[in-house]
Amino acid sequence: MKKEIHPNYGEATITCACGNVMHTRSTAKEMHVNTCSRCHPYYSGQTKLMDTEGRVQRFQKRYAKTAKA
């Protein structure tokens, strides 16, 4: 590798809006994020699949013929 052209790669602190603090390594010393794995609905188990218009059933009905073949 060439000398003097690469940024310093060291300890970094990532702070989420929910208050969660993570320690990792990066070229930036501090980072602030809006969501993390602790507060994101997908990872926290609070996500909901809303199918108000029957789109999933219509999709399954439409492609059921090709799945059997």
Q: What is the pLDDT of residue 23?
A: 96
Q: What is the pTM of this model?
A: 0.55
Region 53-59: mean pLDDT is 81
Across the range 47-68, mean pLDDT stands at 76
Q: What is the largest CA-CA distance in the chain?
A: 61
Instruction: Return d(Cα 30, Cα 34) in angstroms, integer.
Output: 14
pLDDT greater than 60 at residue 53 = yes
Domains and CATH numbers, the chain: 10-68 (4.10.80.400)
Q: Indicate whether 69 pLDDT > 60.
A: no
Instruction: Please calculate the CA angle 6-34-10 and round it to the nearest 5 degrees.
Output: 25
pLDDT in tens, 5-45: 999 999 999 999 999 999 999 999 999 999 888 888 777 77
